[in-house]
Structure 1
Amino acid sequence: MGAELLTPQSRTKSSFNASRFPDSHDPFWPRIELSVLRECLQLGEEVSEARLALAVRFAAIDAAREFASWRSALRRRGYRRLEEMDGHANGRALSVCYRYFIAAAVRRGLLAGPAAGGEPAHE
């Protein structure tokens, strides 16, 4: 899974045509396109759009906690968005780490199911 696959700049065809992003997105972090994440994680239609969006929202909350100190330090230095650091190796590395964290948390949440403490299954 390449981190670039989770960004809106990488358009790929999907059975889910609409470009959707989680609605609780912190503008500091890179946006995660749901259809691209779906393809990257090879999720079939058995995972509904609503379930995927919910899993991404939970993952974004976890990521915000995990990377809070980085965000605070960069904000103190005047960066409003992580994208502003694209020219710096550390900025790119943090962006890649964030995207991988989201993808891994989504996969874990979707595969774990309710019995393992994952999100509830929607049938």
Structure 2
Amino acid sequence: MTDKSIDGSGLSEKQQYWLAHLHTCRLEAGTIKGYAEANGLSLPSLYFWKRKLTQMGFLEESGSGKRRFQRLELSSTSPAGVCRIQFPNGMTVEWSGNGGESLLSVLRSVAAL
């Protein structure tokens, strides 16, 4: 499982604090409950921040592989032939090209980040 942003740039100090704990928790490969108890953290807070940072795109969902849908807004401000996706975490991907292969290539690159 890969995370979209390991360094947490663009996050508040509090968000970075919880992101760091969630990264460490994943690296230790134990349970979230066990990690919270071992580190004196509130279990409800750890779950809250896991959900929040996942929704923001800084963590991938674990377990079932479910993906959350985001609202798509079409804009006519891009030049012809240029496509742009802006993610909830502020990351923007822009490319030009026609057809599904171009999009597939871009999405594979983004997934590897």
TM-score normalised per structure 2: 0.30
Q: Name the structure where helix makes up a greater proportion of residues.
A: 1
Q: Name the structure where strand makes up a greater proportion of residues.
A: 2
TM-score normalised per structure 1: 0.29
